[in-house]
Amino acid sequence: MTDSLVARLEQYFPAARLKTRLIDRHAYSSDASFYTLVPRAIVFPETVEEIKLLFRLAADLGTSLTFRTGGTSLSGQSVTDGILVDVSKHWPLVRVEDGGLRVRVQPGVTGAVVNHVLRSYGRKIGPDPASINAAMIGGILSNNSSGMCCGVVDNSYHTLLHVRFVLADGSVFDTEVPGDYARFEQSRPDLFAGIAALRRRVMEDASLVARIKEKYKIKNTVGYGINAFVDYEHPLDILAHLLIGAEGTLGFIAEAVLRTLPDKPLKSAALLFFDSPRSACDAVPALRDTGAEALEFMDRAALRSIEHLAIAPSFLRELPEGRFPAIWAEVKEVLEQTAGDCSPDIVLAPGSQDAHQDHRTVAEIVPTVFRDQLYLAYEIPKWDGDMTRPSVYFPLTAEIARRKVELLHKSFPSQRSRDWWDDEVFLGLARLRGMECRATYAESFHCGKFTLRGGIS
Ligand SMILES: Cc1cc2nc3c(=O)[nH]c(=O)nc-3n(C[C@H](O)[C@H](O)[C@H](O)COP(=O)(O)OP(=O)(O)OC[C@H]3O[C@@H](n4cnc5c(N)ncnc54)[C@H](O)[C@@H]3O)c2cc1C
């Protein structure tokens, strides 16, 4: 089957625009998602006629077409085990119209290039996916991309003015051409009537209309954009807007005209610190009222997990860290919840001698929350030099001591860049503690009090 597929494609596409070697097929087997599908061939069409031809061939051969532009999709939209149609190379049109108020685009141009062209008009496109340097118009429209600033107000769906598209039967329609509205009804009466009937069903049910409106108040790119049935009346307009977010399943987008937005010449950004996710969220209404167009929430734990990477900016490592004393009540609440969820025999936590204020806060709360358990406070070597004499020792074999160091490296990547962090510190401390309890290595703890139970005989 694959051989006949390749033979058919070779009939129409020159070698420079057709890839069928295994190495090429594997090179195109992934996008930004975690899915892998190896296409049977990759084709690079140049014209609408070739798209029509591909639809015909796919139907003849009983296989599918999947379009691809930047390949930055996160859910496997641009991988396939059928024919992969790459439109990132030959569909580059960007034409500014109406003094920058509109822009005419083809699928194979990145959002960044469109914005670059619009910049001298003080305009930009609405959708602003974080991937805009690689994401192209075909994918931006077909995924109904949005972004930090455009939200759901100026996303692909809401900024689409016109679209020219090819259906699987090879018919081409353009919402910019007034005659295409009647032509759609005449040449595809099945589709026209089907869409009109669906719209009637939606509109006759007030609770469904209200539900759809509610669901699309926030970002909703799950399934087809059925808000098109509420927002538009003519079946061609409905279909045109269903294409936005259809991930290439309803037809091929050959060209579009987008409404542009002002690209403000002066912009400012601020980095604010909050003690907890809760207080950050509480600040949202006030920040929105200042006119902020985008608010991005970055949590410390997530940043900590990447701050050791060479490409991470150094200021990440210097962000405020220890804030537990300021959120004492929240820390207590979390510990109380933990205590309610389990009944441990031993609680291991930092100790009150610890120089780090977060550790000390935890040490202060733990005995008040875990009253019936043996609480052993462990040691954390650090620059502050806060080690004191421990009272409980637990001898370790050399193998366990090394395993502990291994796990420390693995579990605290953000600390690995500290100049004192190395095997010697951890093994050295374990060796010292081992010497103190007549073992090779040991883990040691502080213990404030413990209860001995049992009868006396
Ligand atoms: C780091 C990163 C950050 C991201 N940030 C965002 C974000 O902020 N907001 C957001 O919305 N998304 C985001 N994404 C997801 C993705 O980048 C966007 O959805 C992007 O717009 C996809 O564009 P693309 O050119 O890569 O499309 P592709 O992945 O190539 O294709 C996307 C879909 O469009 C279809 N398609 C492509 N061309 C056509 C065509 N001409 N006709 C019909 N169908 C076509 C494909 O078949 C596929 O289903 C992010 C992804 C990454 C990796």
pLDDT at 456 over 80: no
List the single range of 123-137, 197-211, 309-323, 335-349 with lowest mean pLDDT. 309-323
Please give the DSSP secondary-structure letter assigned to residue 110. B
Residue 313 sits in the same domain as residue 331: no
Q: Which pLDDT score, from 0 to 100, does residue 322 have?
A: 58
Judge whether 41 and 57 are in contact, CB under 8 Å: no
Could you tell me if the CB of 69 is within 6 A of ligand 1?
yes
Judge whether 430 and 423 are in contact, CB under 8 Å: no
Residue 113 sits in the same domain as residue 250: yes
Q: How far apart are CA 33 and CA 212, in angstroms?
A: 28
Domain assignment of residue 455, yes or no: no
Could you tell me if the CB of 143 is within 6 A of ligand 1?
yes
Give residues with Cβ within 8 angstroms of 250, minimum separation 6: 167, 224, 239, 242, 243
Residue 257 sits in the same domain as residue 287: no
Residue 251 sits in the same domain as residue 159: yes
Number of domains forming the structure of the chain = 4
Q: Which pLDDT score, from 0 to 100, does residue 414 have?
A: 66
* Averaged confidence pLDDT in the chain: 92
Residue 113 sits in the same domain as residue 203: yes
Closest residue CA from atom 2 of ligand 1? 131
Residue 378 sits in the same domain as residue 289: no
- Please give the number of the atom of ligand 1 that sits closest to the Cα of 69: 30
Residue 361 sits in the same domain as residue 340: yes
Domain assignment of residue 352, yes or no: yes
Q: Which pLDDT score, from 0 to 100, does residue 320 have?
A: 65
Residue span of the structural domain in which 375 resides? 327-446
Q: How far apart are CA 338 and CA 347, in angstroms?
A: 11
Given ligand 1 and candidates 50, 66, 68, which is best to mutate, with the most ligand atoms within 8 Å of its CB? 68
pLDDT at 1 over 60: no
Burial category of 4 from C-beta neighbours within 10 Å (exposed 0-12, middle 13-18, buried 19 and up): exposed
Residue 351 neighbours by CB distance under 10 Å: 23
pLDDT at 170 over 90: yes
Domain assignment of residue 295, yes or no: yes
Domain assignment of residue 179, yes or no: yes
The residue that leads in pLDDT, 410 or 373, is 373
- Please give the number of the atom of ligand 1 that sits closest to the Cα of 165: 42
Judge whether 83 and 40 are in contact, CB under 8 Å: yes
3-state secondary structure of 65: strand
The residue that leads in pLDDT, 269 or 217, is 217
Residue 253 sits in the same domain as residue 111: yes
- Please give the number of the atom of ligand 1 that sits closest to the Cα of 148: 8
- Distances in Å between the Cα of 234 and the Cα atoms of 175, 180, 209, 210, 252 are 11, 11, 17, 20, 20
Could you tell me if the CB of 156 is within 6 A of ligand 1?
no
- Please give the number of the atom of ligand 1 that sits closest to the Cα of 140: 21
Could you tell me if the CB of 84 is within 6 A of ligand 1?
no
Closest CA to 160 of 258, 260, 233, 262: 258
Could you tell me if the CB of 294 is within 6 A of ligand 1?
no
Residue 123 sits in the same domain as residue 44: no
288-296 long-range contacts, CB within 8 A, separation 24+: 293/149, 294/148, 294/149, 296/148
pLDDT at 128 over 80: yes
- Distances in Å between the Cα of 351 and the Cα atoms of 63, 376, 433 are 65, 8, 17
Domain assignment of residue 93, yes or no: no
SS (H, E, C) 230-298: HHCCCHHHHHHHHCCCCCCCCCEEEEEEEEEEECCCCCCCCCCCCCCHHHHHHCHHHHHHCCCCCCCCC
Could you tell me if the CB of 147 is within 6 A of ligand 1?
yes
Q: Which pLDDT score, from 0 to 100, does residue 296 have?
A: 86
Domain assignment of residue 429, yes or no: yes
Give the domain CATH number at 51: 3.30.43.10
Distance 101 CA to ligand 1 centre (A): 24
Rounded mean pLDDT, 304-330: 77
- pLDDT band at 328; cut points 50, 70, 90: confident
Could you tell me if the CB of 67 is within 6 A of ligand 1?
yes
Given ligand 1 and candidates 88, 143, 152, 155, which is best to mutate, with the most ligand atoms within 8 Å of its CB? 143
Q: Which pLDDT score, from 0 to 100, does residue 396 have?
A: 97
Q: Determine phi and psi for 79, rounding to 5 degrees.
A: -120, 155
Length of the chain: 457
List the single range of 19-28, 211-220, 298-307 with lowest mean pLDDT. 298-307
Rounded mean pLDDT, 376-392: 92
SS (H, E, C) 413-455: HHHCCCCCCCHHHHHHHHHHHHHHCCCCEEEEEECCCCCCCCC
Q: Which residues pair with 165 in a beta bridge?
A: 173, 253
Q: How far apart are CA 317 and CA 451, in angstroms?
A: 42
- pLDDT band at 14; cut points 50, 70, 90: very high
Residue 116 sits in the same domain as residue 199: yes
Distance 427 CA to ligand 1 centre (A): 49
Rounded mean pLDDT, 151-176: 96
Closest residue CA from atom 7 of ligand 1? 129
Closest CA to 43 of 34, 53, 33: 53
Give the domain CATH number at 367: 3.40.50.10320
Residue 188 sits in the same domain as residue 311: no
Given ligand 1 and candidates 29, 37, 43, 69, which is best to mutate, with the most ligand atoms within 8 Å of its CB? 69
Could you tell me if the CB of 303 is within 6 A of ligand 1?
no
Could you tell me if the CB of 155 is within 6 A of ligand 1?
no
Chain centroid to Cα 6, Å, comes to 36
Q: For 11-37, b where at least 16 C-beta lie within 10 A, e where not — what string? A: eebeeebbbbeeeebeebbbbbeebeb
**Dihedral angle of Cα 243, 249, 255, 259, to the nearest 10 degrees:** 30
Distance 64 CA to ligand 1 centre (A): 19
Could you tell me if the CB of 108 is within 6 A of ligand 1?
no
Q: Which residues pair with 262 in a beta bridge?
A: 123
Phi-psi category of 348—alpha, beta or left, where left has phi over 0 and alpha has psi -120 to 50? beta
Residue 114 sits in the same domain as residue 181: yes
Domain assignment of residue 453, yes or no: no
Q: For 150-184, b where at least 16 C-beta lie within 10 A, e where not — what string? A: bbbebbbbbbbbbbbbbbbeebbbbbeeeebeebb
- Distances in Å between the Cα of 226 and the Cα atoms of 7, 189, 295, 364, 404 are 40, 21, 28, 55, 54
Give the domain CATH number at 166: 3.30.465.10
pLDDT at 308 over 90: no
Rounded mean pLDDT, 312-321: 73
Given ligand 1 and candidates 67, 125, 242, 296, which is best to mutate, with the most ligand atoms within 8 Å of its CB? 67
Number of alpha helices (DSSP H) and beta strands (DSSP E) in the chain: 18, 14
Could you tell me if the CB of 66 is within 6 A of ligand 1?
yes
pLDDT digits (tens, 9 = 90+) for 29-67: 999 999 999 999 999 999 999 999 999 999 999 999 999
